[in-house]
Structure 1
């Protein structure tokens, strides 16, 4: 099952281990995994970490207002709908043909309150009122890279505007040695969000390989101890950095602004082998 979309060729590959689950590939790069029978199942390690953030963003089961910048196969929107019924969700996805392909091949639960809008993530963010969201999740990639205009202080200031007091921001970032991009993103978020945490595979944090890292920010203390426990007990255990450890990890990197922002680095050719 495949289609041509703005980002390249989208293909749905069945999961050999789960009867009604699929992996979305775009130009052969794994982009999302969806289990239609169990939307609470998050297969990718970074999506599991984002799932932990969703679980801890509010008391269990309480509906939230969630904004998803980047839609993919709508995996995390489905997860919120399943774990927090009656939540109000907006998804902003620039690749309209991808949205059409996903909605046709992997239909949403008609009862899920998920509204999908086509358009640029930052432009869509700018249309939301102040203090609308309990949760903002950024998972935006074009050609396996996060676009530059979604990496700056100005962008994060808009995110903070849209979040309610006590709301949570989470971003899926990718980088590899020497981790210049990731360190810069921590330095960029620090002036905007007083509380930050970073969850990733230890090998990524040590600069030994390219991979995903989830950056979490808020204006109130984060549930770091519980997030650390959950990330450490995942099928692919990760590590959480926070406080002084995260500051040391950033290593004095400078914040990124619109004037000097750049796309995240390209994955090495062997990343998706």
Structure 2
């Protein structure tokens, strides 16, 4: 299994340029490039500079993260989503990054589950049409907050299945899976080819509905049953990649080199119980 780094883990203590250099130093295979860090990078660099880095490194781009709150938008907000997707597709065409994470909207009011499904399927299909000419796939990420319109793996997978598009899949994030008690039975029934991205993390031992991103901790240091998730992935035949993604303010206060190193070490330790990993460093 290939090891990736999600830039949220160094959201406030590093830049894309520094993340690239440190991920290469510590032997990561992939990086998930954040949209905000990418835009900041491009104020002083070009997409050709980014391409040159990847062309001369072991590290490769795996996905852009993320287009947030894609559903139930007003006209201007939805146009911004489409503009950002176009931008990422064009950058991805240069640097060979062919996945984009997309996230549903929170606090939408009194929509029924069927209305949420209908809206989300419709939006995903339209965005898929925009991405398809570039060969870009969209990874739909449910969020394990009670206020998110799609907050379980089962609902997200059902929506992705309903879209019936080759370039639409799901993000499986251990934190979000645990936070609202997604069913392991749903994961056991999933097609591994529809899991486009796998995020690993752990969290403090709070009850369902109370967990938030700042409660995340390094894999193996919290309350999530990672063994069940990892063994189930092995059982269904998923072995593509795993990406460390945390939003813990404590870790943002560390030196970025330490954050990226510990992310690699804890991810490898958790995953290597079930999958072969290339320990380059």
- Report the TM-score when normalising by structure 2: 0.36
Normalised by the length of structure 1, the TM-score is 0.36
More helix by share: 2
Between Structure 1 and Structure 2, which shows a larger proportion of strand residues?
A: 1
Task: Identify the structure with bigger relative contact order (alpha carbons < 8 Å, sequence gap 6+).
Answer: 2
